Structure 1
């Protein structure tokens, strides 16, 4: 863990809690391939660490949580290369296979892949003024790390469809009202509240907590694996579209995209 460049990990062995913080401020904590590799390694390491029984995941006290994928890298990926390397599968698999509770502490924005990472956590605490959204549609693609699947399960088809098809965002307070966020707080209370919850959970029997998490996830995972596999295939398919290239280029050039619908 000493070689991490984009993620910081602090383990309190006495309390059984690990605090994992995204640390790529120059890129608003956007995920590069290197950062994905680090996140996967961190999850594998913490899952095997007996002294950790609960995890808090955050972007830090000032935010942001995560801006999603680094578009400078994403724009270079083709449909064929995405299939060949199973793009994002290592990250989604690492979250899906993590046996201990993960509490997202969201301050600032959690957009695109950042929102998907929050949704992949077991519990979400957020600042009242945090911003959640899946804006991929605006740059010529779709969510590809479970966003369409988990948001639909949290909100129901109709409300999730509106968010996915418009790319609109919602505040932490609104997502609390809609049932996506467990609790919303003033931003200076989010991390301490999430840490307190993690410490409470860590007092329980570690093996029993893991079994309880697995039991609850059985409801979601009954169809989630198939849904996410389909989502990824559809996501990869957008990489070959002219509108995908236009969407990424327009975003990087800070202009509105001119989609040609092809």
Structure 2
């Protein structure tokens, strides 16, 4: 063993033996844990940078992270509610996920990565990151697992974004807003959200998450809109030129290059625009027992395919229309990750056995199959999808629809069950993002596309 590595291993063993015992006192535990984690950062700094480590050096670094994360999990298990109260003025101030993540890093040193640390991680390909987002996963597991703090996090994420509020007057005045890779247009009483991430067949990434949440907010905020519709734009890709595509799932190229964020994408999409489609917008957070909510029915128009995140998204809609050549799949197991909240929703929609075939076995469901009737309300010719959307939108504008969908969702997606699922999802997905098998899959995918 090289001398520098032997020195590091010895330092790690001495440091591990000094792990503090949590004493159920937030102030005392914060100081002790922060000092312990600070020493961990010094040990990591004495090792070569992540891209330059040997396997033995990386194993030593991983040992430091593993010990640190066990203490982090114990800390947020014991003090998650107190930490949340300090970050939100006792729950009186709403805070989005990114605000909580970086405020926590300031309040308790080294509990979670700073904004600068995450920015540095984003400059590296996924296999060469330090894996700091795993610490954010632990933080949100701790915040979401508590009924009180977790409910406040969910409610905060249902509030409209500042970007949407700034663009609302433009939509009201002109009837249309172009956000970049998503556009919104009001036609009659229908808000048409068109996804046009053309460079990657509407694959999802941080940018699309930002634009799609803004679009969903705008539809829900505009009083002239009574029904929302999401549909993919015609593509420019040679294989699908001029054909509409709903969604190609997570952008694996961006994931390989380290540009898919746990907080700004994987958690934001579930607690942001997908939850807003299901639950509506919270407009008044001052009265948690009786908030003012802007809620509307939603239609998904699925052309060609809904892969991964596309199928996850479709599960949240009130009415799904698919062209008869379309297909649905959740290839997350093959990609090594967890398919968002699909594990929460799919058994209810398809039944437990078929849900396992889709999630664990990678089964595709084609619109022509009988099983597709469990996913879709209508299946039609591709050139009739638009007319089917118009007819469904007319029907869903009935005055009682909103109240009835609210009651259906109350039974279908109890908020406490969803919160508990998302707490575990934050923890498990953050580990999956940096697991050895995912790194191998990403490297293999990148090489197979001729880019190695």
TM-score over 0.5 (shorter chain): yes
Q: In the TM superposition, what is the alpha-carbon distance from 1:175 to its structure 2 partner?
A: 6.1
Gaps of 5+ in 1: 256-262
Q: In the TM superposition, what is the alpha-carbon distance from 1:249 to its structure 2 partner?
A: 2.5
Contact persistence 1:127–1:173 (CA under 8 A)? no
DSSP-derived class of the 2:405 partner: helix
Q: 1:194 to 1:217 in 2, by over 3 A?
A: same
DSSP-derived class of the 2:368 partner: helix
Q: In the TM superposition, what is the alpha-carbon distance from 1:77 to its structure 2 partner?
A: 5.1
Contact persistence 1:56–1:195 (CA under 8 A)? no
Q: 1:76 to 1:87 in 2, by over 3 A?
A: farther
Residue of structure 1 equivalent to 2:250: 69
Q: Which has the higher contact order (CA 8 A, sep 6+)?
A: 1
Question: Is 2:242 the partner of 1:91?
Answer: no
Gaps of 5+ in 2: 1-166, 168-176, 235-242, 281-294
Residue of structure 1 equivalent to 2:315: 119
Contact persistence 1:143–1:235 (CA under 8 A)? no
Q: 1:19 to 1:92 in 2, by over 3 A?
A: closer
Residue of structure 2 equivalent to 1:260: none
Tell me, in whole angstroms, the C-alpha distance in 1 between the residues paired with 2:192 and 2:264. Answer: 33
Question: Is 2:202 the partner of 1:6?
Answer: no
Contact persistence 1:78–1:240 (CA under 8 A)? no
DSSP-derived class of the 2:365 partner: strand
CA RMSD of aligned residues (A): 2.4
In the alignment, which of 289, 294, 301 is matched to residue 105 of structure 1?
301
Q: In the TM superposition, what is the alpha-carbon distance from 1:254 to its structure 2 partner?
A: 2.9
Question: Is 2:384 the partner of 1:170?
Answer: no
Q: 1:151 to 1:38 in 2, by over 3 A?
A: same
Q: In the TM superposition, what is the alpha-carbon distance from 1:83 to its structure 2 partner?
A: 5.7
Residue of structure 1 equivalent to 2:448: 254
> 1:19-41 CA deviation, whole Å, 9 max, x = no partner?
11111122100112111111111
Residue of structure 1 equivalent to 2:350: 155
In the alignment, which of 215, 232, 250 is matched to residue 59 of structure 1?
232
Residue of structure 2 equivalent to 1:131: 327
Q: 1:180 to 1:228 in 2, by over 3 A?
A: farther
Q: In the TM superposition, what is the alpha-carbon distance from 1:226 to its structure 2 partner?
A: 2.6
TM-score normalized by structure 2? 0.51
Q: 1:87 to 1:213 in 2, by over 3 A?
A: closer
In the alignment, which of 207, 215, 226 is matched to residue 34 of structure 1?
207
Between 217-226 and 179-188, the greater mean CA deviation after superposition: 217-226
Q: In the TM superposition, what is the alpha-carbon distance from 1:251 to its structure 2 partner?
A: 2.4
Q: 1:194 to 1:176 in 2, by over 3 A?
A: farther
Higher helix share: 2
Aligned residues: 248
Q: How does 1:217-232 map to 2 (within 5 A)?
A: 217-222=409-414, 223-232=417-426
